[in-house]
Structure 1
Amino acid sequence: MKLTVVGGGSTYTPELIDGIAGRRTSLAVDEIVLVDPDHDRLSVVGPFSQRLLDHAGHPARVRTTSNLEEGAEGASAVLFQLRVGGQAARRSDETFPLDCGCVGQETTGAGGLAKALRTVPVVLDIAERVRAVTGPDTWIVNFTNPVGIVTRALLEAGHRAVGLCNVAITLQRLVSTLLDRAPDDVKLDHVGLNHLTWTRRVVVDGQDVLPQLIADHGEALAEDLELPVELLRRLGVLPSYYLKYFYSHDEIVRKQRTERPRADVVTDVEHELLKIYSDENVSTKPKELAERGGAYYSEAAVQLVHALTSGGGAEEHVVNVRNGATLPFLPSDAVIEVPSTVDTTGATPLPVADVPPEFSGLISHVTAYEHLALKAAVHGGRDRVADALLAHPLIGQFSLAEKLADDLVAENRDHLPWAKL
């Protein structure tokens, strides 16, 4: 089996490779192609990835190329992990909204919209080129943020795509550690949109242990989620840590104004990782890779690719998938993040219990924003950008939306062809 990674020059790619090395018996990969326009990064990440596999005794061979068509031809699955504009664009996403008193973040708010505008056209172009050489049946596993919007764009364009995020698996691992249980013993009732989810039940041995979990470990959970423990106790759920941008917006903005942008931290980490990867004596995953972010993505990605390609029967995974009738208060073409059965035919959402208004209201609001964000990303236009910002629950004021739209376009002009006209 051939697996292609678009954006394979990322310093995070060795985490994925390490995950593949650990699943030798279940994921029959014999060729991994890393595709990236950055030759310098490929020349470092590629050989290090091969050393990881060799050290683990895995037979797969790693190839690198900047030619997308060459890299994708014959692939059973193609993973998308792109960052259009690199860490410099991310730094902009994390900083320009702060001048307006709005959260600076690369997947939500004005920064998240900026990333979507840069990313969606590039991803759609890549997907079309991949389909031209692989045919319509190759699976695209999308880890590119904002995952929900990008996955919806791929599905609307007719691609076989499933979106993947590491939030659910990270929470599962945290909970299993607190409970001293194996991860596979823990199932989460996880519902919402990408980066806007709530875990309403934690099922172990057929019983919901979430109330006791919050009672016994509320402080530790709240610290990890960066939310008040009183909120967890009142709601009786575990919100995604991305919900701190909604539930503690003003506090987060004050904090961001005094902290170093995450993009700068990651840039430093990447420089250090590339130095480590360049050392031919290093053949195991360095501890510094944990600072890069994306915990457990490799494990989730490998499991998902296995389910989509192995023919071994349905597996259950939390993925980003078309809503259909799963959440009846959303349009059928919305993309939601819920537990789903996954096999070679794709992902099908499992039934979801009624979602109460304290969660469904925000889900509906953000879904409306995502619809407008995708429209702006596909068709361009400054006013479409402003309309999406006006619809976002973290913005929602005309004067703010107007100012942020102008700033967003100015910051991203080099990545928005329509803005240069």
Structure 2
Amino acid sequence: MKLTVVGGGSTYTPELVDGFARLRDTLPVEELVLVDPAADRLELVGGLARRIFARQDHPGRIVTTSDLDAAVEGADAVLLQLRVGGQAARLQDETWPLDCGCVGQETTGAGGLAKALRTVPVVLDIAERVRRANPRAWIIDFTNPVGIVTRALLQAGHRAVGLCNVAIGLQRKFAALLDVAPAELHLDHVGLNHLTWESGVRLHGPEGEDVLPRLLAGHAEAIAADLRLPRPLLDRLGVVPSYYLRYYYAHDEVVRELRTKPSRAAEVAAMEKELLSLYSDPALDEKPALLAKRGGAFYSEAAVDLAAALLTGSGSPYQVVNTRNAGTLPFLPDDAVIEVQAAVGPKGPSPLPVPSLDPLCTGLMAHVTAYEDLALDAALRGGRDRVFKALLSHPLIGQYEYAEELTDRLVAHNREHLAWV
């Protein structure tokens, strides 16, 4: 089995490689190809990756290259974890929206749109090259904004599934609070990427006992503190929102915070510098503890589980993925991409039925889906007016004066990545 990681020079990669090494019985990788245009980073990450495999006696071969076509030739699955523009672009995404009083964040709001505009054309070009190399290959997208990128891939006819680590992170946290094994918990996870709620937490599969009321009764304070939302809000919602909902439920509070502290991009850039220094140590043969602070917790477990299900039919029978709605949520278009529990196998994901939802959730989902329609149109066809409409439609913006100014700033900061400018 051959797997290719596009963006293999990312400091995330040792987390992924560690998962491949530990879980080789679930996913027997014979060749792992790391491809990245940044040769210096790739050499450091690739060296550590080989040492991780060696430490854990993994028999697979690790190849590093900057040649994308060679990297995807014959690949059974291609994982996308790229960042167009690097941390410098992310820093801009997190900064200029704040000047207009809007959240500065790399996956939602104006910053999220900028990332989508930079990313979608690049990903579609990669996907076409994957299709030419092996039309049966699966594309697993971990590149943000996952919902919009996955929708672009699916609309272009690619065999693609989107992956996010929010659900597996919550599963692990809930399991620890309830003192059960993570595999015993099935989340009734529903929404769009980075706009999700846990409407149930079930023991032993989708038909099991819903222990969410017990979880909230005994641990609401801890959960609320982790989400940085007030406990009374969780009591009134009766569900657990993802931490990304804080951008919506406490928008102005978040803006005030972001204006008074270093950006996450600056923190990550400093962390990456330190990580690459650690990776250069020829004695290091395991992922360093610092990597846990980089983000992407449990990414490797989720990626291995998904790839195993798609390629071999093994892995967990139900997994949270980003996939085509196809009537699962009747209030959204069929071609919308939703993030839900699905039965996953070699034919792809099949979403499980979703119980009726509170209008508080469905209304916001419909609103953001409409934004994603416009965002994808802007990413595919370009044009200032399309960017303006997407910004105006976003629930975190929604005022024409803000949308006008944000459009100007977005274009100014992303000229080198927008072919239509």
**TM more than 0.5:** yes
Question: Which residue is equivalent to 2:183?
Answer: 184
Structure 1 residue matching 2:79: 3-state secondary structure: strand
Q: Residues 29 and 60 of structure 1 are in contact (CA less than 8 Å); yes or no, is this contact kept in structure 2?
A: yes
Equivalent-residue separation in structure 1 for 2:370 and 2:357 (angstroms): 17
Shift of 1:314: 7.4
- Aligned counterpart, 1:5: 5
Matched, 1:145 2:147: no
Aligned equivalent of 1:335:
337
Q: Residues of 2 paired with 1:217 and 1:284: CA distance? A: 34
Q: In structure 1, how many angstroms separate the alpha carbons of the residues matched to 2:405 and 2:275?
A: 38
Deviation at 1:352, TM superposition (A): 0.5
Q: Is the 8 A contact 1:340 1:350 kept in 2?
A: yes
1:394 to 1:176, Cα distance in 2 relative to 1, 3 A: same
1:311 offset after TM fit, Å? 3.3
Contact residue 306 and residue 315 of structure 2 kept, 8 A: no
- Alignment deviations for residues 21-53 of structure 1 (CA, whole Å, 9 cap, x no partner): 111112110110001000001110001001001
CA distance in 1, matches of 2:109, 2:230: 21
- Structure 1 residue matching 2:82: 3-state secondary structure: coil
- Structure 2 Cα separation of the partners of residues 132 and 7 of structure 1: 20
Output the amino acid matched with 1:395: I
Tell me if structure 2 keeps the 8 A contact 1:314–1:343. Answer: no
Mapped to 2, the partners of 1:299 and 1:316 lie a distance apart of: 14
State how far apart, in whole Å, the 1-side matches of 2:117 and 2:166 are.
23
CA displacement, residues 354-403 of structure 1 (integer Å, 9 cap, x when unaligned):
12211000000000000000000000001100000010001011111011
Q: Which amino acid aligns with 1:348?
A: S
* Superposed displacement of residue 207, structure 1: 1.3
Letter in structure 1 aligned against 2:278: I
- Counterpart position of 2:389: 387
Name the SS of the counterpart of 1:207 in structure 2: coil
Amino acid aligned to 2:95: T
Partner of 2:240: 238
When residues 54 and 262 of structure 1 are mapped into structure 2, their CA distance, relative to the original with a 3 A threshold, is same
> Is the contact made by 1:149 and 1:370 (CA closer than 8 Å) also made in structure 2?
yes
Cα-to-partner distance string for 1:185-207 (whole Å, 9 max, x where unaligned): 11110000000000011112521
**Structure 1 match to 2:96:** 96
Give the letter aligned to residue 201 of structure 1: G
Deviations 1:232-280 (A, max 9, x none): 1101110010000000000000000001000000001101111111100
Residue 167 of structure 1 aligns with which residue?
166
Query: Which residue is equivalent to 1:27?
Result: 27
Any runs of at least 4 consecutive aligned residues in structure 1 with deviations exceeding 4 A, and if so which? none
Give ranges in structure 1 of 5+ residues lacking alignment: none
Conserved? CA contact 2:72–2:78, under 8 Å: yes
Paired residue total: 418
Aligned position for 1:413: 415
Task: For residues 291-321 of structure 1, give each alpha carbon's deviation from its aligned partner in whole angstroms, at most 9, with x where no partner exists.
Answer: 1101111110010000000134872100000
Q: Structure 1 residues 62, 313: CA separation in 2 closer, same or farther (over 3 Å shift)?
A: closer
Q: What CA distance in whole angstroms lies between the structure 2 residues aligned with 1:86 and 1:312?
A: 35
Q: Who is 2:197 aligned against?
A: 198
Q: Which runs of 5+ in 2 are unaligned?
A: none
Partner of 2:130: 130
Question: What amino acid does structure 2 have at the position aligned with 1:212?
Answer: R
Q: Indicate the residue corresponding to 1:81 in structure 2.
A: 81
Alignment of 1:228-307 (within 5 A): 228-307=230-309
In 2, Cα distance between the equivalents of 1:386 and 1:211? 42
Q: Secondary structure at the match of 1:418?
A: coil
Q: Equivalents in 1 of 2:80, 2:109: separation in Å?
A: 23
Distance 1:218 1:398, change over 3 A: same
Q: What per-residue deviation string (whole Å, max 9, x for no partner) do you get for residues 324-370 of structure 1?
A: 01000000000000000100000110010112211000000000000
Query: What is the distance in 2 between the residues matched to 1:247 and 1:350?
Result: 28
- What RMSD, in angstroms, separates the aligned Cα atoms of the two structures? 0.9
Q: Which residue of 2 aligns with 1:316?
A: 318
Change in Cα spacing, 1:313 to 1:196, as seen in structure 2 (3 Å) is: closer
- Structure 2: how far apart are the matches of 1:351 and 1:392? 28
Question: Could you tell me how far apart the structure 2 residues matched to 1:75 and 1:168 are?
Answer: 27
| Distance in structure 2 (CA, Å) of the matches to 1:210 and 1:313 | 25
* Percent identity (aligned): 65
- Contact preservation (8 Å) 1:100, 1:400: yes
Identify which range, 52-61 or 154-163, moves more after superposition: 52-61
Partner residue of 1:355? Answer: 357
Q: Cα distance, 1:122 vs. partner?
A: 0.4
Provide the TM-score with structure 1 as the length reference. 0.98
Question: 2:305 touches 2:315 (CA, 8 Å); kept in 1?
Answer: no
| Partner Cα separation in structure 2 for residue 215 and residue 356 of structure 1 | 20
Say whether the 8 Å CA contact 1:342–1:348 is kept in structure 2: yes
